[in-house]
Amino acid sequence: MDSMAEVLEENLEKVLKGEGLEVREFDSVPEQVKPVTLRKSVCYIVGAVIFNSKDEVLMVQEAKRECYGRWYLPAGRMEERESILEALQREVKEEAGIDCQPITLLMVQEQGPKWVRFIFLAEETGGSLKTTAEADSESLQAQWWDRESPLPLRGRDILPLIDAGIKYRRNPWFPMLQPVDFPCQVICQRLFLTFISSNGNTDTNDEHRMWLLLSSNDATSQPSLPIAVSVNAFDTIPRAAHRLVKECVPSSSMQVHTCGILGVQHNGRIPGKTDGICFNTLVLLENSEDGAENSSLPPLEGDAYKWHEVTNQSLRAKIIQRIKESLFCLFIVYTEALPP
Ligand SMILES: C[C@@](O)(CCOP(=O)(O)OP(=O)(O)O)CC(=O)O
Ligand SMILES: [Mg+2]
């Protein structure tokens, strides 16, 4: 295997493991996309689902006028120069008095760059529950909730998040995932875009072939996974992925399924320069034509992209495994209105 192929396979393995890769080139940027700036062009929110030994969930009583006295998960907006995990630990400490460590990223909800929410399953590591005597502008108090007794909630949107946390504790259906420290100027995604074609040769064991879409116009000439950039405040991750595919796969019968998030790359250290996020996303391309006997590899338009056949059995198996895990999507596009 030549060195370029070796580097490519090493990079694919890293992305599959939730590790990061430097974001060098942007594909399909229809216009000059400016670097994003936290709390101006992007808003990131962190939230924590933390259970005690009795499966009670940590809740905080809000002090804000618009939701005064109502209860919610410890959550809040990221501040300048913070990493995602630093924001999570700060919000839990400020609102609940508890020190915590993240177990895994549980869910990403987004409406495009203007609203991205990271929900973590986390565990208590110290501190003490905030009491009413310690009430301040961050919260009135914190309590463990048995999830059954009546509690006036700030928003019911947290109930599926708590359920996801319970489910993951009982049966972790994807490998633990933590954000990795890589600078990025914009909100973009590196597409691990897979197409599985039946080669129609049913008398062999391996009647399927697996392909990955690669960007072949990278400045360093090393083929790499394509990167789609969110180009405005409402450009969600699935929409940006769909646009990139539409550009290079003219066939209209292709369905683009954003299966889940393989990794989150963020740095946040330099306001206005590294406030971006690169989501490494698993995307499945399927031929939606019914009865397509032989879902053959869709032709590509132009020479900016190419198909790369994955022949490494171990890599194939890992990709198939991740596609199966994504049956319970780690990633939900949050398109409804924000909770009251
Ligand atoms: C996700 C939220 O419901 C809760 C986090 O927002 P807060 O209003 O609690 O922000 P902080 O004052 O920084 O703690 C907000 C939303 O966008 O839905
Ligand atoms: Mg808050």
Question: CA–CA separation, 141 vs 104, rounded Å?
Answer: 25
Q: What is the pLDDT of residues 79-106, one digit of tens each?
A: 999 999 999 999 999 999 999 999 999 9
pLDDT of the residue at 19: 95
Residue 252 pLDDT level (bands cut at 50, 70, 90)? confident
Half-sphere exposure of 283 (CA within 13 A, CB side): 29
Pocket test for ligand 1, best of 46, 77, 94, 114 (most atoms within 8 A of CB): 77
pLDDT of the residue at 30: 53
End of a domain among 145, 170, 195? Answer: 170
Q: What is the pLDDT of residues 295-324, one digit of tens each?
A: 788 999 988 899 999 999 999 999 998 888
Residues 139, 163 share a domain: yes
Mean pLDDT lowest among 114-128, 130-144, 201-215: 201-215
Please report whether residue 20 resides in a domain.
Answer: yes
Q: Is there an atom of ligand 1 within 6 Å of 340 CB?
A: no
Supply the pTM of this predicted model: 0.91
Task: Kindly give the distance from the C-alpha atom of residue 329 to the centroid of ligand 1, in angstroms, as a whole number.
Answer: 23
Q: What is the pLDDT of residues 124-172, one digit of tens each?
A: 999 999 999 999 999 999 999 999 999 999 999 999 999 999 999 999 8
Task: Kindly give the distance from the C-alpha atom of residue 338 to the centroid of ligand 1, in angstroms, as a whole number.
Answer: 10
pLDDT of the residue at 204: 46
Residues 33, 71 share a domain: no
Q: Is there an atom of ligand 1 within 6 Å of 77 CB?
A: yes
Closest protein CA for atom 15 of ligand 1: 76
Please report whether residue 338 resides in a domain.
Answer: no
pLDDT of residue 120 exceeding 50, the answer is yes
End of a domain among 170, 204, 221? Answer: 170
- For the chain, give the percent of residues with pLDDT over 90: 63
Please report whether residue 276 resides in a domain.
Answer: yes
Residues 122, 28 share a domain: no
Residue 254 pLDDT level (bands cut at 50, 70, 90)? confident
Please report whether residue 340 resides in a domain.
Answer: no
Total tally of structural domains belonging to the chain? 2
pLDDT of the residue at 36: 93
Please report whether residue 103 resides in a domain.
Answer: yes
**Domain of 266, in residue numbers:** 3-37+179-333
For the residues of 292-322, what is the DSSP string, one character each? -SS-PPPPPSSSSEEEEE---HHHHHHHHHH
Q: Is there an atom of ligand 1 within 6 Å of 75 CB?
A: yes
Q: Which residue has the higher pLDDT, 47 or 293?
A: 47
Residue 270 pLDDT level (bands cut at 50, 70, 90)? very high
End of a domain among 113, 141, 170? Answer: 170
**What sign does the CA torsion over 158, 163, 169, 172 have?**
negative
Q: Is there an atom of ligand 1 within 6 Å of 76 CB?
A: yes
- Cα–Cα distances in angstroms (integers) from residue 204 to residues 179, 199, 207, 209, 293, in the given order: 41, 10, 6, 12, 16
Task: Kindly give the distance from the C-alpha atom of residue 120 to the centroid of ligand 2, in angstroms, as a whole number.
Answer: 14
Q: Is there an atom of ligand 1 within 6 Å of 92 CB?
A: no
What CATH number corresponds to the domain at position 208? 3.90.79
Residues 187, 287 share a domain: yes
Residues 232, 203 share a domain: yes
Question: CA–CA separation, 246 vs 8, rounded Å?
Answer: 24
What CATH number corresponds to the domain at position 164? 3.90.79.10
Residues 239, 121 share a domain: no
Helix or strand or coil: residue 62? coil
Please report whether residue 148 resides in a domain.
Answer: yes
pLDDT of the residue at 31: 63
Task: Kindly give the distance from the C-alpha atom of residue 51 to the centroid of ligand 2, in angstroms, as a whole number.
Answer: 18
Residues 228, 247 share a domain: yes
Q: In what order do the strands lie in the sheet with 75-77?
A: 75-77, 44-50, 116-127, 98-110, 331-333
Q: What is the pLDDT of residues 16-53, one digit of tens each?
A: 999 999 987 665 555 678 899 999 999 999 999 999 99
